[in-house]
Structure 1
Amino acid sequence: MSSYTKLRVAIEKPFGKDLSSAIELADSILGNLNSKEVFLIDHYLHKPGVSQIVEFCRSNPLLYSSAGLIDHIEIISSESIDVRGRTDYYDQYGVIRDMIQNHLTEILTLLTLDLSNLTSPSNRPFDLNAAKFDILKSIYPPFLQSAVFGQYSGYQDDLESDKGGNAHVNISTTPTLAIVVLHLQSPVWFNIPVIMVSGKKLGKRETIAKVVFKKTRHVSLRKKNGYCDDIVFTIQDSNGSSFITLPSNHNFNLPNDKTWTYNEGDGTSCSSMKTIPLGRMALKETYASVLRSLIRGESDLFVPLSNVLESWRIWSSLLLEYEEGKGEHLMIYNKSFLDNLRLTLNGSTLTVFVNSSDPQDNLVSFEKDGISFKSGNKTVEKIKEKIFGHFLYKFSRSSLAREISQDILDTAITSVQARDSFHLALPGGSSPADVYQSLVVDYKHSFPWTHTSIWQTDERCVPITSRDSNLFQLSKTLLAQVGVPYVNIHPLFPVCHKSESVLNEYASINYFDYVLLGVGKDGHTASLFPDSVNSSFSPFDNNETVKFVKLPLDYPIKVKERVTLSMERLVKARRIGMIITGKDKCHLAHVIESKDKHNSSLPFVQLLRKAKPGTVKIWMDRNICKK
């Protein structure tokens, strides 16, 4: 698609450092220019290996029609050079901003385009950038537990050298390598992992995009036997050449003006494969192509402002989490790191380790649900432990809400895939407020809201227009801002007046898919209070699902009459998330981590004891006891 504006202003990356700075920069530019006059340069879009991705997909529209055959996607960019001589720039930006947020994300959008839209049914030309924008909107923002960061050995020396040999340069935590797992919510790529890797000083220059078909959940990023069963787009090899490698036993259509070459193998690589040579383009030629496209107004070969802002939406939360941690998850690597690295994918779990028969060589392993760094047998940091067979996760307060909302999302996706519905029971109170905000900010457009039914764990017997009403707070912070159908919201308030229809409605749900719970400083959860409170606690006739609670008049809680899901119903949930935050709850952390926890009668501890082991995830502020 061409843009016929008379004025064309080209801007080279980086465009901002995060979403907020990119928005500020965009607003400044749009105060003087029309958006169609702005051409953001990504020179990778002018490389033959990148531009031919769309052409190959256009020639093979049924390539990804059966997503069940695809195991995962890899997009890997390794460089042999270091950053000496340009650390003034690089130390401010790092690998995510320098490579992944722009170049590799652009490659991902091209590789995962909705192929049904490659040819428009109308007379209007196909809008490639609009299609890429749709892909960007479908990408879930990755969080710290889905990433590994590294810095090459000698980076600090390069930094000090560029500063004139000053020995007092602060230790830098800028990452020069990142391995990140992404997920997309789209009909074709739903729940198919995307592994992105980029790093400096890795001993080899190569950028590839690879579609891996199902055969194993074991990934070696540099296979010694080649890529026999995969489709590999080599954007550039060590010589700067570009080509597409395909399994020889599959029939693919050639893009226009392209020819096959055959490689019968030499015993160390694939026995037989097809290659489509795409040519070689030096960096000077690439920028010459940029200028030609700018003169012609070929907007498809540039990045619109809307797309770059959407890309920053994806990556800013990960950058914030990493930088708030001040490099605590940074590892040091050498140039042979990728050659020895293996990734093992098992469901939602990703393990990263060195290819060695010695288990002590394990560098780092992490799951979507937690992360632990290892050096030999020594655990450097552990944020996951078991309580009554349930996992306890400790994160900073700033990261906790995102971790929980990601867990809810993962459970929702699994539930919708298995049962075409997701039954979510939510509390009121202050504990989940940040989680609700994260669901709105991060997943308003990508969560399966239309398949979700919202239930309440408990309710205060006050008018629903009262600020003390759990439903009022839930509606204000979450429900009014997302797309849950009105008929899928199930208020518990009518049970305060013994509504049989609502009681029966709640009783009809055999299992909630996810129950989120807060914990009060007295140990209550939902509205299940300690026995010592001497509350009136009675079931409704012939209904063990919901109970009525009446607290003593002198109990220091404002609303005394409540209705709550019973302990028996809560522990039947498929997944329970329990939030423990607040400086006034340090004693609760001591309770569940003590040897005497088995003797505790506090309701939240009773729930942990009664729930099936592994059902509950306890989410705790790791600084809960710090003054």
Structure 2
Amino acid sequence: MSFRADRLLLFGATGDLAQRMLLPSLCALHTDGLIDPELRIIGAARSDMSDGEYRNFARASLEKFMPAERRGRMADFLNRLSYQHVDVNDLAAFGPLAEKVGLPAERLAIFLSTAPDLFRPTIKGLMQAGLANNGTRISLEKPLGHDLASSREINDAVAAAFPEGCIFRIDHYLGKETVQNLLALRFANLLFEPLWNAQYIDHVQITVAETVGLESRVDFYDGAGALRDMVQNHMLQLLALVAMEPPSSFSADAVRDEKVKVLRALRRMESGESVTGQYRAGAVSGTIVPGYDEELGRDSNTETFVALKAHVDNWRWKGVPFYLRTGKRLPQRVTEIVVQFRPVPHSIFNGTKAKPNRLVIGIQPEENITLSLMSKVPGLDRQGMSLRQVPLDIAMPDAFSGKVRRIAYERLLLDLIEGDQTLFVRRDEVEAQWAWIDGIREEWHKDGMAPKTYSAGSWGPSAAIALAERGGVSWHE
């Protein structure tokens, strides 16, 4: 629906995501004049607060999590806020909420930052109170289920009240500047797109490494594991952006049409193409940390590390492996995509073997793009020309000095308010992702596969190294 929302209803308005991301993002958008002065923001949660108490709560969150230099108009922002106590399991609670929001709800955007088991009662209450009519938009945070069947149940419940054009499923990785820049790199530069295929690319690596352990996500994580928590959403979205065909335009449906084709072309994982691990006590950044079982307080078969060798069975990528790796308690926090090109077919240089070009796209913590090239080493070269690999670096903060570095939720919240679905995930994408993930878990169950242990502070089980080396590949570290 092509309207600019004049009300934003935040469920879970006192939660961790609201404090760390949503309120700071909205305050930043307000400070920069990017949201309409008339936009009202209504918080909803189980805590019993007045409007004034919620504004004080929001002020404390902003002072804790938002850089001081971006809080210049914080007082004006706080005046936008109001609050309504809501127990979403109590249908009667939605009547007062509707009064607070105001009816008719013709230009309303809703953000659900709640547990997935609360989606259904929340939507039922919204429908009963008249807050799910007239093109109201709704945004959903992951996880959207734990397998294909449960994902379909959630999507069916949402679809009963909202058409697909009004549903904004968030994968916050898609709001990151460098992830979006991947599209610009591919489709705005003639240098790369003609080479972006199996004829010139040897393999692709995608790594999402974390140094943290369970933190505050104990119950959720042990029921999910690394495959569901990271691969099903973030990593498959990155893979789809790398592998997709050029869309006809930069519009929501054109981009998402091409992504879902990639996800449906993923070959079913076979035995020997995956490795799982679980960290034990070790040292990360010089600090001794406990093992997963110690943090959890019990034994568990949940994987905290996954390495996969995936294949996209289509014309462009036939025979090119995609190596995916993610885990907790690894040596460094890094998210990156590595595109390894094939070697030159024939080298004319006798002095040094030419190494294949490599493109590294850093997503976090540093946003950068590095292209490795072969160059002549200075000298007289009496025994043949000597070559050396040199990096061509583009550090995004340096390339665009003076530009504000925004967190992903600023872009995603603004798109929700304005109604642009390009960076949100469509239902068929989510279900294609779950279908592939369910196939992997079925293979694990059939093989009786249990996570291999690895020491915290290492790069996972040695089997992950072997997985890559069997294809003549070394992980980029």
Shift of 1:282: 11
Write the mapping of 1:37-436 to structure 2, written as runs, cut at 5 A. 37-61=166-190, 63-66=192-195, 67-115=198-246, 117-119=247-249, 127-154=254-281, 157-161=291-295, 169=298, 171-215=299-343, 229-236=357-364, 240-248=365-373, 271-279=389-397, 285-323=407-445, 327-328=449-450, 330-337=452-459, 342-343=465-466, 350=471
* Pair 1:300–1:41, CA change in 2 (3 A): same
Distance 1:333 1:187 in 2: 40
- Show the 5 A alignment for 1:528-567: none
Q: 1:143 to 1:28 in 2, by over 3 A?
A: farther
Taking structure 1 as the reference length, what is the TM-score of the superposition?
0.45
Pair 2,57 (structure 1): closer, same or farther in 2 beyond 3 Å: farther
Q: Tell me which residue corresponds to 2:162.
A: 33
**Partners in 1 of 2:272 and 2:232 — Cα distance?**
18
Q: Which residue in the other structure is 2:42 paired with?
A: none
3-state SS, counterpart of residue 273 of structure 1: strand
Counterparts of 2:301 and 2:148, CA distance in 1: 21
Conserved 8 A contact 2:278-2:451: no
Paired with 2:220 and 2:181, the residues of 1 have a C-alpha distance of 31
- Indicate the residue corresponding to 2:25 in structure 1: none
Alignment partners' CA distance in 2, 1:45 and 1:27 = 24
Q: Larger radius of gyration, structure 1 or 2?
A: 1
Between the aligned partners of 1:56 and 1:354, the Cα distance in structure 2 is 23
Matched ranges for 1:466-505 at <5 A: none
- 1:230 Cα shift? 0.5
In 1, Cα distance between equivalents of 2:460 and 2:290: 21
Aligned residue pairs total 311
C-alpha contact (below 8 Å) 2:301/2:451 kept by paired residues = no
Note the C-alpha offset of 1:93: 0.4
TM-score (normalizing by structure 2): 0.58
Say if 1:118 and 1:274 are closer, same or farther in 2 by CA, change over 3 A.
farther
- Whether contact under 8 Å (2:360, 2:371) holds in the other structure is yes
Label 1:302 to 1:282 Cα distance change in 2 as closer, same or farther (>3 A).
farther
SS in 2 for 1:300: coil
Shift of 1:336: 2.1
CA contact (8 A) 1:2 1:300 kept: no
Q: Distance in 1 between matches of 2:259 and 2:366?
A: 26
Superposition deviation, residue 228 in structure 1? 7.6
Q: Which runs of 5+ in 2 are unaligned?
A: 5-133, 282-288, 345-354, 376-387
Distance 1:274 1:318, change over 3 A: same
Please list the CA deviations of residues 271-320 of structure 1 after superposition, one character each: whole Å capped at 9, or x if unmatched: 52222233499998222222112112221111011110011111111123
1: distance between equivalents of 2:339 and 2:248? 19
Contact kept, 8 Å, 1:342 with 1:353, in 2: the verdict is yes
Amino acid corresponding to residue 52 of structure 1 in structure 2: N
Residue pair 2:362, 2:368 contacting (<8 A) in 1 also:
yes
Preserved contact between residue 342 and residue 357 of structure 2 (Cα < 8 Å): no
Please give the alpha-carbon distance, in whole angstroms, between the structure 1 residues aligned to 2:313 and 2:370: 27
Distance 1:126 1:354 in 2: 34
SS in 1 for 2:370: strand
Partner of 1:272: helix, strand, or coil?
strand
Contact 1:17/1:93 (8 A) holds in 2: yes
Secondary structure of 1:114 counterpart: coil
Q: Tell me which residue corresponds to 2:146.
A: 17
Deviations 1:338-391 (A, max 9, x none): 698745768xx5489999xxxxxxxxxxxxxxxxxxxxxxxxxxxxxxxxxxxx
Asked whether the 8 Å contact 2:327–2:460 carries over to 1, the reply is no
- Specify whether residues 172 and 186 from structure 1 end up closer, same or farther in structure 2 by C-alpha distance, changes over 3 A only: same
Letter in 2 for 1:245: T
Identity %: 26
Residues 202-251 of structure 1 deviation map (CA, whole Å, 9 limit, x = unaligned): 110111111101249xxxxxxxxxx9820111111xxx22111113469x
Higher relative contact order (CA 8 A, sep 6+): 2
In 2, the alpha carbon distance for the partners of 1:282 and 1:42 equals 22
- Where does the alignment leave 5 or more consecutive residues of structure 1 unmatched? 164-168, 217-226, 251-269, 356-627
Q: CA deviation at 1:110?
A: 0.6
State the alpha-carbon separation in 2 of the partners of residues 102 and 247 from structure 1. 29
In the TM superposition, residue 91 of structure 1 has moved relative to its aligned partner by 0.4
- Cα separation, 2, equivalents of 1:228 and 1:338: 26
Q: Residues 26, 293 of structure 1: CA spacing in aligned structure 2 closer, same or farther, 3 A cutoff?
A: same
Q: Deviations over 1:135-164 (max 9, x none)?
A: 11111121342101001114985555455x
Structure 1's 33 and 146: CA in aligned 2 closer, same or farther, altered over 3 A?
same
State how far apart, in whole Å, the 2-side matches of 1:76 and 1:178 are.
10
Instruction: Give the whole-Å Cα distance in 1 for the aligned partners of 2:362 and 2:182.
Output: 10
Question: For residues 173 and 339 of structure 1, what CA distance do their matches in structure 2 show?
Answer: 15
Distance 1:125 1:85 in 2: 34
Which residue identity is paired with 1:296?
Answer: E
Q: Compared with structure 1, are the counterparts of its residues 329 and 82 closer, same or farther at alpha carbon in structure 2 (3 Å cutoff)?
A: closer
Q: Partner amino acid for 1:77? A: V
Counterpart amino acid of residue 185 in structure 2: F
Tell me if structure 1 keeps the 8 A contact 2:277–2:461: no
